[in-house]
Structure formats: structure tokens, C-alpha cells
């Protein structure tokens, strides 16, 4: 298969490229040459900006395209229209955030999608991200009806993570000591190793499967408490978990999800209880969580500081630093007498 990846040098795109080349496919990466330009030398690299620079792909033909870098419907629509006559299949990486309201546990792919208050906006913010992804899905489908796989991805984890959400936990657990654990151990968590998702997307492209799929994991329900305990065991850590009430965290201005990774208030937690049966039925498989934890920590430790995600604390959208965590734990213990 001749596969074009829009992106391909960062996180999910990088894993998709590696999965495709390992399966013997001919891979072309279209990117700006800014992030990890030296990776995947066995692939063809085409340098260009997808926003107005698709001419760099003129004349090329592929069996499928995987779009890992589409956030604005105009840009996604332009790519799909440009490639419609030259690719058979379009894989668009969307998001579980594309749903209008996922406070109902067990939402499947028929759940209504979000809409933009201002259809003309192209500002990608926390408030617009999901609706923009939904609009991107429609733009791709309009350009290539019946030929688009909409991958509604959940939290992506594993090596080469460009955020510091999941890496925070294996790094923090490995450090040991008293660990602030947010909310309750029963808090639901859904996540997928980007390597597993990448393999599945390539397989789906090979089969030219279309339609929408909730693409996260694991196959069996997972709680935050189970995740952290399994991290302690997998990493051989003596860390001690102190569970801190979510009301206390909110009163102390702890930002869910970013400052305190994997935690959202209970009123929003059902977005981590999506129905995954369709993707699992289509072959999505999951490696052991312990392998993801160990591999993520090994990658994190081996990554030079300048190449790591920014970890400047909440002001930069990062997780708790040691001082902030210690202060919160001291305040929490003070309330407990």
C-alpha cells in the first residue's frame, strides 16, 4: 500500500509511519520539517505547509491518507478535496471531544456531535476544539463521501507523547514518596497507547473501512486507582497515594486534566465511559498497561530536557510541580486534623 501521512514525525503520526513501514508499505510524510525532521529515513519526506501549500503533493497518488494534523475544517476540507481524485481512502484523526454532550455514560458513535457557535471561527481553544474536530469530520466527508474513517480518539499515551499528561504519572510514581492522587480511586479512565491506535489505523486503511469509531481503551473498565496501583507495581515504586477530595482541589484552584492529569470533576467524568465495542469489534487491540507505563517512563528518562514537553507548571498548562504538590498535601492534612 502507498500511504500518505499528513504529519508523521510527531507522536501518533510517527507511530503510524513506523507501523506502516514495518508492514512493508511505502510511506510518504508531508510535514513542515520543524519537528523531528530526521526520523524515519526509510520514508519519503515532502516538506510543505498544508495550509496553502498542498501543491507540494501535486502529481502524487496513494492508496490511503492518514490525517493526524487536522484541526480546522477549511484546512481539512482543502486537503480532502485536493486528494479526492488521487487517494482511495481518507483516515481522519478526530477526537472524543467532538461529541456535543458526553455526560451520559456509554455514548456510542451515534451520539450527536458538537457545533460551533461561530461557524467561521478557526481559533483552536479549549472551548472550540471539539466542535472544530466535528466540523473537520463533516468537511472530509463532504469531499470524499463514504471513503472516510473518522477516528474519534481518546487520550493518547505512550512514548513520544507531546503533552505531559500521562508521562506525569509514571514519572511521579517512580519518584516515590507521598503522591497526591485526585478525587477518588473509582474515577473512570479511558486511554489508548498511540502505538496500538496507529497499528489499528493502518490496518483499517488497508481494508478501506469507513465510518466513525470511538477509538480509545482499554477493553475492560479502568479506574484511576487501579492505574496508579498498577503503576506502583510495574515500576517497583514505594510511593504512597493520598487521595484528596475533588472539592478541596477545586477550592484550591487546581486545574482539572492539565495541572492534575487524568482527573476531571465527577460531573464530567462520563466522557471517559464511552462505548468502545465498535472499534474493538473492528480489531482494535491493547497492549498491557504495565508495558505502556514502563515504556513511557523509559522514553521520558531518555529524552533530553530540550526535547521534552514543557513542564513549567500550571501557568504553562503543565502538571503539578513538587512544591505545589507538597503545599496542597500539607493543606489537605491540616483539614483532616
Residue 252 lies in a domain: yes
Judgement on whether residues 312 and 249 belong to the same structural domain of the protein: yes
Judgement on whether residues 235 and 251 belong to the same structural domain of the protein: yes
Where residue 312 sits, what CATH number does that domain have?
A: 3.90.25
Judgement on whether residues 114 and 33 belong to the same structural domain of the protein: yes
Residue 284 lies in a domain: no
Q: Is the pLDDT of residue 37 over 80?
A: no
More confident residue, 249 or 313: 249
Domain boundary among 199, 215, 231: 215
Judgement on whether residues 115 and 264 belong to the same structural domain of the protein: no
Q: Is the pLDDT of residue 130 over 80?
A: yes
Residue 70 lies in a domain: yes
Judgement on whether residues 66 and 177 belong to the same structural domain of the protein: no
Does pTM surpass 0.85? yes
Residue 259 grid coordinates: 495541572
Residue 183 lies in a domain: yes
Q: Is the pLDDT of residue 209 over 50?
A: yes
More confident residue, 265 or 21: 21
Residue 145 lies in a domain: yes
Q: Is the pLDDT of residue 270 over 60?
A: no
Residue 278 lies in a domain: no
Judgement on whether residues 45 and 142 belong to the same structural domain of the protein: yes
Q: Is the pLDDT of residue 315 over 70?
A: no
Q: Is the pLDDT of residue 312 over 50?
A: no
Judgement on whether residues 197 and 62 belong to the same structural domain of the protein: yes
Q: What is the mean pLDDT of residues 94-119?
A: 89
Cα–Cα–Cα angle for 79, 82, 88, rounded to 5 degrees: 90
Contacts of 119 (CB under 8 A, 6+ apart): 135
Distance separating alpha carbons of residues 322 and 326, to the nearest angstrom = 6
- Across all residues in the chain, what is the average pLDDT? 93
Looking at residue 8, what is its pLDDT?
Answer: 87
Q: Is the pLDDT of residue 225 over 50?
A: yes
Which CA distances in Å does 160 have to 25, 35, 73, 146?
22, 12, 26, 32
Give how many domains the chain has, as a whole number: 2
Residues of the domain holding 331: 168-189+221-269+289-335
Nearest to 279 by CA among 189, 198, 193, 200: 200
Residue 281 lies in a domain: no
DSSP letter string, 197-226: HHHHHHHHHHHT--EEEEE---SS-EEHHH
Distance separating alpha carbons of residues 121 and 117, to the nearest angstrom = 9
Judgement on whether residues 100 and 172 belong to the same structural domain of the protein: no
Judgement on whether residues 108 and 68 belong to the same structural domain of the protein: yes
Judgement on whether residues 27 and 128 belong to the same structural domain of the protein: yes
Residue 282 lies in a domain: no
More confident residue, 163 or 208: 208
Strand, helix or coil for residue 157:
strand
Annotate 35-54 with b (16+ C-beta within 10 A) or e (fewer). bbeebbeebebbeeebeeeb
Where residue 19 sits, what CATH number does that domain have?
A: 3.40.50.720
Distance separating alpha carbons of residues 239 and 244, to the nearest angstrom = 15
- DSSP at 112: P
Amino acid at each position: 500500500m502507498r500511504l500518505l501521512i499528513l504529519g508523521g514525525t510527531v507522536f501518533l503520526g510517527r507511530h503510524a509511519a513506523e507501523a506502516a513501514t514495518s508492514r512493508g508499505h511505502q510511506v510518504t510524510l508531508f510535514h513542515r520539517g520543524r519537528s523531528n525532521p530526521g526520523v524515519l529515513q526509510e520514508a519519503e519526506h515532502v516538506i510543505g505547509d498544508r495550509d496553502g501549500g498542498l501543491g507540494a503533493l501535486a502529481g502524487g497518488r496513494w492508496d490511503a491518507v492518514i490525517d493526524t494534523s487536522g484541526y480546522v475544517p477549511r484546512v481539512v476540507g482543502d486537503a480532502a478535496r485536493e486528494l479526492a481524485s488521487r487517494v482511495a481512502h481518507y483516515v481522519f484523526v478526530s477526537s472524543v471531544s467532538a461529541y456535543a454532550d458526553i455526560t451520559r455514560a456509554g455514548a456510542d458513535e451515534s451520539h450527536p456531535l458538537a457545533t460551533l457557535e461561530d461557524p467561521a471561527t478557526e481559533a483552536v481553544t479549549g472551548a472550540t476544539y471539539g466542535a472544530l474536530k466535528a466540523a473537520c469530520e463533516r468537511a472530509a466527508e463532504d469531499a470524499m463521501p463514504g471513503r472516510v474513517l473518522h477516528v474519534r480518539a481518546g487520550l493518547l499515551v505512550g512514548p513520544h507523547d507531546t503533552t505531559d499528561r500521562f508521562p506525569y504519572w509514571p514519572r511521579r510514581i517512580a519518584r516515590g514518596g507521598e503522591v497526591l492522587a485526585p478525587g477518588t480511586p473509582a474515577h473512570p479512565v479511558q486511554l489508548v497507547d498511540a502505538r496500538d491506535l496507529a497499528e489499528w489505523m493502518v490496518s483499517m486503511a488497508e481494508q478501506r473501512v469507513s465510518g466513525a469509531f470511538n477509538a480509545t481503551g482499554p477493553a475492560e473498565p479502568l479506574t484511576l486507582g487501579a492505574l496508579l496501583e498498577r503503576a506502583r507495581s510495574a515500576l517497583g515504586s514505594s510511593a504512597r497515594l493520598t487521595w484528596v477530595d475533588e472539592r478541596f482541589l477545586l477550592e484550591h484552584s487546581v486545574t482539572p486534566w492539565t495541572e492534575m492529569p487524568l482527573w476531571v470533576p465527577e460531573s464530567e467524568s462520563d466522557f471517559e465511559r464511552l462505548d468502545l465495542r465498535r472499534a474493538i469489534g473492528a480489531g482494535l487491540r491493547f497492549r498491557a498497561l504495565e508495558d505502556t507505563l514502563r515504556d513511557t517512563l523509559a522514553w521520558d528518562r531518555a529524552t533530553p530536557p530540550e526535547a521534552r514537553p514543557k513542564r513549567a507548571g500550571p501557568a504553562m498548562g503543565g502538571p503539578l510541580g513538587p512544591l505545589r504538590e507538597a503545599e496542597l498535601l500539607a493543606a489537605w492534612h491540616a483539614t483532616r486534623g
